[in-house]
Amino acid sequence: MTDLILHHYPQSPFAEKARLMLGYKGLAWHSVMIPAVMPKPDLTALTGGYRRTPVLQVGADIFCDTALIARRLEREKATPALFPEGKEAAAAGLAQFADQVLFQHAVAINFQPKGLAARFAGAPEAMVQGFMADRKALFSGGSASRLDSAVALSQWPALIGRLETQLDRDGEFLLGDTPSVADFAYYHPLWFVANNAAVADALEGYPAVKAWMTRVADFGHGSFTALDAAAAISIARDATPESLPATGFVSPGGFAIGQQVNVSAVDYGTDEVAGKLVFEDAEEVVIAREDERAGLVQVHFPRFGFKISAA
């Protein structure tokens, strides 16, 4: 089975980015719900330890990080394009900024006291404490640090004001009249703010931004059906990983195909995934690993934002 399977949970901003990209492409997919906090035993059976949300599964191939998921969806269906011809660097660069800087600000605004109170209203205290402990662990050991809420609020008008000015003057989307991956990357942090009533006023006074958010949201999430985690793992176990091309790419780290390596994110969620290096190119690193439940799988990572080390 080579259907698209998204492992996600409803409140995840990056999952919303992936869901909207699926909708923009008009793709059908299967939805597997995962926990918002660790442990995630069904997910990590597929990924080997990578814990961030979302993850895209295609048979026995597992794609980590929405930057790479976008490229996999582009390969699945070329049009409408997420990386418009002649604007590839601009689209990827804007998306990278939004996924890192804008997202960091949105999280800090959400996690100020009134934002947390609204987000967890009525939740048991143990659940709230568990979530906060999980997110503290998520940022442990990586290059990213949590942005202070006061700093985020101070800098927010510059970030959103620039977006407002451009959208007001130059087309319906960030790169003109048609969307790109940059729109979905910019959208999901703002969606995270807009969906918390206690902090949603951070988007007031920006009519062009709000109109653009409506245009992006209107792409929807495509056609999807629910799938349980056990079925997704069975699909991986019964599938054969995809064939990977020979590229002639020279590994910047001097790694050899077939070498045992560890791959991990550099910013946060830095859990290492161990496996045999089976592919490298300018955008992607792939390792093969065996799992007692999922069988032989190939785990795909974007090159940017991840590091490879010898096992």
Does the pLDDT at position 1 exceed 60? no
Query: Mean pLDDT across the stretch 217-222?
Result: 98
Query: Mean pLDDT across the stretch 102-114?
Result: 96
Token pair for 146: 């949590």
Report CA-CA distances (Å) from 9 to 35, 51, 52, 70, 151. Answer: 7, 12, 11, 18, 29
Does the pLDDT at position 146 exceed 90? no
Query: CA 292 from chain center: how many Å?
Result: 26
Cα 22–192–220 angle (5° rounding)? Answer: 25
Of 3-7, 128-132, 161-165, 213-217, give the lowest mean pLDDT range. 128-132
| Predicted confidence (pLDDT) per residue in 297-307, tens digit | 999 999 999 99
Q: Which residue has the tokens 């799988």?
A: 297
Please list the residue range(s) of the chain that carry CATH number 3.40.30.110. Answer: 4-80+223-310
| Predicted confidence (pLDDT) per residue in 88-106, tens digit | 999 999 999 999 999 999 9
For residues 185 and 280, give the distance between their C-alpha atoms in angstroms, rounded to a whole number.
Answer: 25
Please list the residue range(s) of the chain that carry CATH number 1.20.1050.10. Answer: 88-217
**pTM for this predicted structure:** 0.97
Q: How far apart are the first and last CA of the chain?
A: 31
Token pair for 164: 């407002």
Which amino acid does the sequence have at 100?
Q
Which H or E run includes 285? strand 284-291
Domain 4-80+223-310, CATH 3.10.129.10 — does that match?
no
CB atoms within 10 A of CB 157: 13
What value does the CA radius of gyration of the chain take, rounded to a whole number of Å?
19
pLDDT band per the 50, 70, 90 thresholds, residue 262: very high
**170 or 107, which is more confident?**
107
| Predicted confidence (pLDDT) per residue in 220-230, tens digit | 999 999 999 99
Determine contact, residues 82/94, Cβ cutoff 8 Å. no
Domain 88-217, CATH 3.20.20.70 — does that match?
no
Average pLDDT score over the chain: 96
Determine contact, residues 65/52, Cβ cutoff 8 Å. yes
